[in-house]
Amino acid sequence: MIPTMNEYYKIGASLTAEHPSYVERKADNDLYKFAFLDDVHLGCVFAPRQMGKTSLTRRISNRLEKEKFICATIEISKSSDIKQEQNLSRFYKHLLKKICGELYTTQNEFLEGTDSLIFLQDKVDKFWQENFLFDNFIKFLEYFISQDFPLAKRAVFFIDEIQKLFRYRELSENIFSDFSSWGDSASKKNNRGKIKFVLLGTVNPYYFFREEAWNKAKNFALGNLEDDVSALCDGLKVVYEEDAEFILEQILLWTKGTPFLTQYICNAVFEGAIKGVSKKNISEKLDRFIQKEFVENWRSKSEEHQFHFDEIQRWFDGCGCYTDKHERIRALKLYDKIIKSNQAEAYIQKK
């Protein structure tokens, strides 16, 4: 595939399922295999911002749908009702409606039922009682899948941005306890065996899960871009031809394969934002560009480019952090001191 100048790399947003610069990681294969397991029903992908969690779910959903799975992704951050709900029963009712609605709008090829979405939502309202909780949520999903999607092999539901629930500590603890207990006891002999959940977010899991519950879930580590990065190189080859591989190596030396920075800098080189790049001067020009772009002038960038850094600052300033701000500042200064003294590099070489 020959990329065009405005579509190959993606900055600050998730990639489509078949985006040309998508780099597969170990988590891709592990999450795909998880969908076929009979004895594990709960998966977790917890990683920092901009590590490609949403891109991963799109890619895996697309792959699984070709295998006659039905998939739905619910983003807590895009559901204002969920964010405002502090009642456990109403939370599950709302989540149930969101999942059913998502399946109706995205999985038409598997749909066998004749109910309209409005009729289905009414059915949920009539079915649900104020004291209903997680077991009732699962029972309705089982019924819904068996009636409306009888040909589906399995259903995989991705619940994204779960760190948004942290503001409701008691509610979130109950939710994670429900999911982990269900995942541990789910039977293989009925429709429950067809349902899997994957929780995604930026939160430290130990703030929600007890250790024994956390160990019962299937955990997927979302590492940096490494191994086969030919998809990234293909874009650079359009401009730099035989120098593309070396230029990408130099970019990865800087970014260590972190998805956001790697896509950002590849795009800058690709579009000529770093002027006069060649095999001889790429290292020096990258140094200057990164110092100017990410250290000195990040606040002046467009909203699309700046959003990631704003989120980091908001998180650091206290919107969701778990430690005192003064402690974080002391830790950051210590980290800076270690890096500048080269002690970290010496320690790594020693190990």
pLDDT tens digits along 260-283: 889 988 988 888 777 777 788 888
**Domain C-terminal end among 219, 249, 276:** 219
Q: Residue 20: inside a domain, yes or no?
A: no
Provide the pLDDT confidence category of residue 325 given band limits of 50, 70 and 90.
confident
Q: Number of structural domains, the chain?
A: 2
Q: Are residues 212 and 246 in the same domain?
A: no
Domain boundary among 194, 219, 244: 219
Reported as a single tens digit per residue, the pLDDT across 172-207 is 778 888 887 776 665 444 445 689 999 999 877 666
Q: Per the domain annotation, does 14 fall within a domain? A: no
Same structural domain for residues 236 and 215? no
pLDDT of residue 45: 93
Pairwise CA distance, residues 251 & 212, whole Å? 41
> In angstroms, rounded to a whole number, what is the distance separating the alpha carbons of residues 177 and 161?
17
Is 220 strand, coil or helix?
Answer: coil
Q: Tell me phi and psi for residue 212, to 5 degrees.
A: -65, -35
Same domain, 112 and 256: no
Residue 214 and residue 264 in one domain: no
| Same-domain check for residues 253 and 149 | no
In a domain, 135, yes or no: yes
Claim to verify: residue 237 and residue 183 sit in the same structural domain: no
Instruction: Tell me: do 215 and 235 sit in the same domain.
Output: no
Query: Looking up tokens 């990329």, which residue turns up?
Result: 3
| pLDDT exceeds 70 at position 150 | yes
Q: Are residues 246 and 181 in the same domain?
A: no
Q: Are residues 211 and 270 in the same domain?
A: no
Does a structural domain hold residue 21? no
Residue 171 and residue 86 in contact, taking contact as beta carbons nearer than 8 Å: yes
Residue 343 or 87, more confident: 87
- Predicted TM-score (pTM) of this structure: 0.81
| Residue 4 lies inside a defined structural domain of this protein | no
What's the pLDDT score for residue 158? 96
DSSP code, position 243: G
- Comparing CA positions, the residue from 33, 30, 59 lying closest to residue 45 is 30
Between 99 and 347, whose confidence is greater?
99
What residue numbers bound the domain in which 343 lies? 230-350
Share of the chain above pLDDT 70, in %: 75
Q: What is the mean pLDDT of residues 213-232?
A: 84
Q: Which of 219, 254, 280 is the last residue in one of the domains?
A: 219
287's tokens: 């140094």
Give the pLDDT of residue 70.
Answer: 92
- In this structure, are 314 and 211 located in the same domain? no
Pick from 26, 20, 24, 4: nearest CA to 220 = 26
45 with 165, same domain? yes
**182 located within any domain:** yes
User: For strand 70-75 and strand 195-201, is the pairing parallel, antiparallel, or unpaired?
Assistant: unpaired
Query: Same domain for 33 and 91?
Result: yes
Model pLDDT, residue 302: 59
Higher pLDDT, 33 or 274: 33
Residue 119 domain flag: yes
pLDDT bin (cut points 50, 70, 90) of residue 344 is low
3 inside domain: no
Q: For the segment 226-262, what is each residue's pLDDT rounded down to a tens digit?
A: 888 999 999 888 888 888 899 899 999 888 999 988 9
Any idea what the CATH number is for the domain that residue 30 is in?
3.40.50.300
Q: What span, in angstroms and rounded, lies between the C-alpha atoms of 321 and 89?
A: 28
Between 144 and 170, whose confidence is greater?
144
